[in-house]
Structure 1
C-alpha cells in the first residue's frame, strides 16, 4: 500500500463501523492505523494487508484462519483480535489498541535495560507466548518490533518493571510462512532472531520461539544482537554455526545466572532448550528469585558495621568498634565521641571503673553479635549460591524405569514431559531433560524428562475427491507437504479435485515429506459411442469420424463373425483425439466337427449329428443304414450346418 492510498484511507469508515483516524506504522506485510469503533465507541488498531500479499490466495486463506484462532486466544499479554474482514479486496484485522511503544522503540531510546527490567519484560512476553503454545500455536517471529510496552499505572513506560507487555502478530507470522511454501521456500523470519532449525530445514515449533525470546533477552541486556551484518543469509547461518556469546562478556558486571539463562534458551540444538515458552518462563522466574535473594544478602552485608579488615571467611574475627567511631545515628544513649569530657562535673573513679566495665561488656556483646551476623550472612550466602545446589544427573538414554529409580534414590522429583519423537532412541527412553546434565539444580529439585515417542511418522490421508486447497490443508495439519503432479481427465472426479496421490493413502512418512497429487481436468471432450452389435467396418468408420483410433481383438463368439461384441473404454466415456478404443470382434460361432456316421442305423446317426448342434436331412429310407453323408465325417462346419445322410 503506497503513501497516497494510506493518506486517502484516513477518515474512511470501513464496513460502516471502523472510522480510520491516523496511521501508526507501515511494515512489509501490512499497514497499521488507529480507528474508532463507532459501534462500541472505543479506539482500536486496524491492520490492512498490502495488495501484494492480498493477491496470494493461499496467504489470504491462511491469514483468515489464523485470525480466527488468535481471536479465541484470550490472555492479558496477547494483543486481542476483535474482528476481521475485507476492504476493497484487502484483508484487515481489528485489534486491541495498546497505548505505548514497541520494545524496539525503547531499546532505540535507551540502548539496553538493566537486568530487573529485562526479566520483567521477558516474563510477560513468555506468558503470552506460552498461552499460544498451549493452544497449539507458534509465533515464528518473536522480536522487539512485535512486543508492545503499555503505559504503567505508576507513570508511563519509563517504569518498565510495572509496565504491561503485550505480544502481537501471531497470525500474520504463520500466514506469511505458510504462503512462502509455494514461492520457493524462502526464509520468512527476521534473521537477527531466527532459530537455527528454521534456517536449515524450515521447521518451526515451540522451541523456535524460545530461541528468539533468548535473543531478545540478549539484546535487552547488551543493547545489541549477537549476530549482525549486511548479508541476511550470512547472518542467518551465524545462528546455525555459532553459539550465542555470554551477555557478561559484553556488559561487565552482569550476574552469571543471566549468562546461563541466555545460553539455555539459545542452544543450537532444539532438544537442549526448554520445551516451550512455559518452561522458559519457569526458569526466568527462578532467576528473578535468585537475583532477589542475592540483593537481600548484599543489603545485609552492607548493614554489618565496618571492621578494620575484610571479612575473608567464617573464621574471621571482627575487632570491637568504639563508641567514638560510630556515626551519630548509631550511638547508644549517653555515648560521647572519643575525647569528649563531661561538662557537668568530674566523674568519681569508682563510677568511672563501673562505666568502663559496662562499656567493655557492651563491646564484647556487640563484637559477638557482629561475628554471629557475619557467620549467618556468609552461611546464608554459601547456602543460597552454592550449598543448596548440586549438578543435575545425566539421564538421556535411560529407560523410564531407570530414570524413576535414579530420581527416587537421589532425592529428586521427576516429572514426565510430553515426550519427543526420535529416529534413534527406542520408545520410552529419555530423549531430553531439563535442566540438562551437569547444570546447577536445587537439591531435591524437579527434573523434567521427555521420553522418546519413537520415530515420528504421519499417515497419508485419503485425498481422493478433495479440492486442491482442502488437500493442502489436510497435509499441513499433519506436517506433510503437497506437490501438484500431472493433470488427467476424469469422468468421475470434478475438475481441480484430487484423483490420486503418491505415496498412496496410509503410507507412513516422516515430517516434511512431500506427497504428489494428480488433479482432475474434468471430463474429456469426446464421448465414446456405443459400438456393440455393429459390424467392425461400420465401427471403424464411426471412430474415425470422431478422431479416435480402433484396435481390434477377435474372440470366439456365437455372434456372427465381424460383429463388435465389446469395447473399452465403455460407451459415453470421455476421450481425447487420437485415443484408442479397443473393440472385441466376434470370430463367429466355433466350428463343429461332423461325426462319421456311415454304416450306422439311420435314426442313431440322426441323433448323433443333432447332438453336435447340426441339422439332419434323411434321404431315401429312414429305417435303413447310412451309406453316405454330406459333408463327410470329420469335416469342420459352423453350428446348425445341415448334414444330409443317405440311408438304404
Structure 2
C-alpha cells in the first residue's frame, strides 16, 4: 500500500499533548522508543491495520519553522522512493492533530541495542552484507545518507536489518553542505568539514562494521586501530582489507561509493576463515548470506 503523503501544514490545528495511550487518527501510542533534540519516536498500534508501528514525531517548535518543515518534506520524499529490503519502508507521513507524523514498521531493536550483547561472527557478517547492500542502493539512487551509525539500523525477525533515519540525507549533486552535520564517532573527517560525498557514507559504514566485529570504534586520526586483533580474528584477509580501506582517513583511498564496496564484497566467497558463511552472488543484491553446509 502506498504511503499517505499529506505533508502540507494544517494551520487550523493546535498540536495536542502526546501521552502514552493518546490517539492520533488511527494510531494509539503505546510506548516511547527514543527521544532526541529534534523528534521523539513512539511505539504505536495501527488500529485499522491491526499492526505495530513506529511513529517519528518532530517537536512542534521545529515544525513551525519553515526551514525545518522543508527538511521534513525532503526526508519524506527521499524515503518514499526507497524500495529495498534493507531500507526501512515509509508507511505514512502527514499532519495529524497539529503533529507531523511519520510512520514505519516497528522493529525489535536497533543495532546499537543489539551490540550490548554478544554477537556471533556469522550473524555480524550477515548484517554487514545487508547494510552494505542497503547503502549501495541509496547511492545508486543518488542519496547521500550522512548519518550512518548503529542507532540508525533497525533489526527485525529472521535476521533482517534495515537502514532508517534519512533526516540528514541529501540528493548528491556534486555540491557540498556548509555544515558538519553527522554523529561524532562515525562522521568522516571531510564531512565534519562540510564536504560530504559518497565516500563519507562508506567511511561511516566501515566504522559501524568494524565496531560490530571488534567491539570498539577508532578515534580519528587513527594512530592505531583499537581491538584490531579481535576484529581480524576469524576473518578472511580480503574482508579485513575491504573494511580497512573503507575507513581510511584519506577519502581518495576509500571506495568511491557503497556500490564499489558491495562489488568488492561480492568477490569474496568465504568471508570467515572457518568457511561457516558463504556469500552467494545471486543473493547479494538482496544482501543475504547463507550458512555453509
Question: TM-score, structure 1 length as denominator?
Answer: 0.37
More RCO (CA 8 Å, sep 6+): 2
- Aligned partner (choices 21, 46, 53) of residue 62 of structure 2: 53
Runs (5+) with no aligned partner, structure 1: 153-162, 176-180, 228-237, 298-648
Per-residue CA distance 1:225-245 (angstroms, 9 max, x = gap): 111xxxxxxxxxx2xx43662
Distance 1:274 1:186, change over 3 A: closer
* Residue 86 (1) aligns with residue 95 (2): yes
Map of 2:187 onto structure 1: 194
Deviation for aligned residue 1:60:
1.2
Deviation for aligned residue 1:71:
1.3
Runs (5+) with no aligned partner, structure 2: 1-14, 171-175, 277-293
- CA–CA separation in structure 2 for the residues paired with 1:252 and 1:275: 23
Map of 1:295 onto structure 2: 274
Q: Please give the root-mean-square deviation of Cα atoms over the aligned residues, in Å.
A: 2.8
- Aligned partner (choices 160, 164, 169) of residue 165 of structure 2: 169
The 3-state SS of whatever aligns with 2:69 is helix
**Count of matched residue positions in the alignment of Structure 1 and Structure 2:** 256
- CA–CA separation in structure 1 for the residues paired with 2:275 and 2:103: 46
Per-residue CA distance 1:515-571 (angstroms, 9 max, x = gap): xxxxxxxxxxxxxxxxxxxxxxxxxxxxxxxxxxxxxxxxxxxxxxxxxxxxxxxxx
Distance 1:92 1:212, change over 3 A: same
The 3-state SS of whatever aligns with 2:109 is strand
Deviation for aligned residue 1:252:
6.8
Map of 2:262 onto structure 1: 281
Deviation for aligned residue 1:247:
5.2
- Aligned partner (choices 91, 96, 113) of residue 105 of structure 1: 113
- Give yes or no for contact 1:247–1:259 (8 Å, CA) kept in 2: no
- Give yes or no for contact 1:32–1:46 (8 Å, CA) kept in 2: yes
Per-residue CA distance 1:303-353 (angstroms, 9 max, x = gap): xxxxxxxxxxxxxxxxxxxxxxxxxxxxxxxxxxxxxxxxxxxxxxxxxxx
- Aligned partner (choices 150, 156, 164) of residue 144 of structure 1: 150
Map of 2:222 onto structure 1: 242
- CA–CA separation in structure 2 for the residues paired with 1:90 and 1:36: 17
Deviation for aligned residue 1:124:
0.7
- CA–CA separation in structure 1 for the residues paired with 2:28 and 2:201: 35
What does residue range 334-353 of structure 1 map to in structure 2 within 5 Å?
none
Deviation for aligned residue 1:267:
1.7
- Give yes or no for contact 1:119–1:284 (8 Å, CA) kept in 2: no
The 3-state SS of whatever aligns with 2:233 is coil
Q: Of the two, which has the highest radius of gyration?
A: 1
Deviation for aligned residue 1:10:
2.4
- CA–CA separation in structure 2 for the residues paired with 1:222 and 1:246: 8
- Aligned partner (choices 88, 108, 119) of residue 125 of structure 2: 119
